[in-house]
């Protein structure tokens, strides 16, 4: 088999940049999740992303830049408040929805007048984008609907034989996608939660930005209307309960489902694993005291459940404040049901 995963040596980063320049796809590490990149100014290269992922064409892509010049290639009329936020949070896990320049092909923005832009902080991503010499459009490097990849191995599971190269950059530090904000209106609004929380943005804005996923019945960030992050078996998520009530409910449900002949998987924090010993498969995901650790392992943990080891998966609720909001958002969209 041809080699697919490459350590991020100067030579392999150069090769990857050449592939991007010639209209190919390359998967690369970022601090949030791995991205599947193409030259954002080449419509045909961008088409390959949609084909490889099986992504609906009405779901726009994030354009990744390594410097202000590349930002100005794709966006115009950048508001002062956006510049302030960029100064504080770039490079990093914050994506800005801005007015698009005509140079950006319509498939990148799904025909819309705005473009989403982010400067990632992972050094391999920055080097790759800089050397490619063009802004790089990149969604998460997973098949549409599946959990996002936080290691190069996850990318290979989904794209082996379909793309020429994956740059390895270790485990993704955040493990959840960037916060997406719309800065084209009067007030900044959060379209997707991530590691940059409303309170962190408030320090710059002077007000607490709202998390707005729908307006007048319309979904603001098109990606949010699709089922996402789904493990390969159905998942039931526990709702908001006192911790001891949640543990009792979940443990009881393990038994009830097993009596029906189902093999039951459980996703829980380290501190709670002993309560679910009866489960057929337990995957421990981070610690109760540290929501960021749960976020980091979430997608990798979801990928560990399969028809081989269980028929149904029960996931603990880990709160919904601050960083945990992004986790709760992803879990609710991965789940078939909340109990």
122 or 281: CB nearest ligand TXA? 122
Q: Considering CB distances under 5 to 8 angstroms, the limit depending on partner class, which of ligand TXA, Mg ion, none binds residue 118?
A: ligand TXA
Distance CA 13, CA 268 (A): 38
Helix (H, G, I), strand (E, B) or coil at 155: helix
Minimal distance, residue 49 CB to ligand TXA, in Å: 9
Minimal distance, residue 98 CB to Mg ion, in Å: 20
CA neighbor of 302 nearest in space, from 225, 233, 227: 233
CA 241 to chain centroid, in Å, comes to: 27
Q: Is 53 left (phi over 0), alpha (psi -120 to 50) or beta?
A: alpha
Distance CA 244, CA 250 (A): 10
Segment interacting with ligand TXA (CB under 6 A) among 76-84, 215-223, 238-246, 305-313: 215-223
User: Under the criterion CB under 6 A, does residue 118 sit at the interface with ligand TXA?
Assistant: yes
User: Under the criterion CB under 6 A, does residue 12 sit at the interface with ligand TXA?
Assistant: no
Segment interacting with ligand TXA (CB under 6 A) among 39-47, 69-77, 175-183, 290-298: 175-183
140 or 151: CB nearest Mg ion? 140
Q: Which of residues 119-148 bind Mg ion (CB under 5 A)?
A: 140
Q: Is 73 left (phi over 0), alpha (psi -120 to 50) or beta?
A: alpha
Minimal distance, residue 224 CB to ligand TXA, in Å: 6
6 or 226: CB nearest Mg ion? 226
Q: Considering CB distances under 5 to 8 angstroms, the limit depending on partner class, which of Mg ion, ligand TXA, none binds residue 114?
A: ligand TXA
Distance CA 64, CA 18 (A): 17
> Where is 235: in which H helix or E strand?
strand 235-237
User: Under the criterion CB under 6 A, does residue 164 sit at the interface with ligand TXA?
Assistant: no
Residue nearest to ligand TXA (CB): 223
Task: Tell the residue number behind the tokens 């904000």, with chain if given.
Answer: 181
121 or 293: CB nearest ligand TXA? 121
Segment interacting with ligand TXA (CB under 6 A) among 19-27, 29-37, 203-211, 329-337: 29-37
Q: Which residues bind ligand TXA (CB under 6 A)?
A: 30, 32-33, 35, 59-62, 93, 95, 97, 109, 112, 114-116, 118, 120, 138-140, 177-178, 180, 191-192, 221-224
């Amino acid at each position: 088999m041809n080699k697919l995963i490459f350590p991020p040596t100067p030579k392999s980063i150069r090769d990857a940049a050449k592939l991007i320049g010639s209209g190919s796809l390359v998967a690369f590490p970022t601090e949030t999740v791995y991205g599947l990149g193409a030259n954002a100014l080449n419509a045909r290269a961008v088409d390959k992303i949609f084909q490889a992922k099986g992504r609906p064409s009405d779901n726009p892509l994030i354009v990744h830049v390594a410097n202000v010049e590349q930002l100005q290639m794709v966006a115009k009329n950048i508001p002062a408040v956006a510049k302030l936020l960029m100064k504080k949070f770039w490079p990093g896990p914050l994506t800005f929805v801005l007015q698009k320049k005509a140079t950006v092909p319509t498939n990148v923005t799904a025909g819309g007048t705005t473009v989403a832009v982010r400067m990632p902080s992972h050094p391999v991503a920055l080097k790759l984008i800089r050397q490619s010499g063009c802004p790089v459009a990149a969604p998460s490097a997973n098949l549409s609907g599946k959990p996002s990849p936080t290691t190069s191995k996850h990318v290979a599971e989904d794209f082996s034989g379909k793309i020429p190269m994956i740059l390895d950059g270790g485990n993704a530090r955040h493990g959840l996608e960037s916060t997406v904000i719309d800065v084209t209106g009067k007030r900044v609004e959060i379209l997707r939660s991530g590691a940059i929380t409303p309170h962190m943005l408030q320090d710059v804005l002077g007000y607490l930005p709202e998390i707005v996923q729908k307006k007048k019945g319309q979904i603001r960030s098109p990606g949010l209307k699709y089922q996402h992050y789904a493990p390969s078996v159905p998942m039931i998520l526990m709702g908001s309960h006192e911790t001891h009530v949640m543990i009792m409910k979940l443990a009881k449900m393990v038994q009830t489902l097993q009596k029906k002949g189902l093999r039951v998987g459980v996703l829980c924090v380290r501190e709670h694993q002993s309560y679910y010993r009866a489960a057929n498969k337990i995957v421990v995901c981070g610690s109760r005291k540290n929501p960021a650790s749960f976020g980091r392992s979430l997608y990798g943990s979801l990928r560990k459940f399969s028809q081989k080891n269980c028929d149904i998966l029960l996931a603990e609720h880990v709160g919904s404040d601050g960083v945990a909001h992004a986790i709760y958002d992803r879990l609710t969209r991965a789940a078939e049901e909340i109990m």
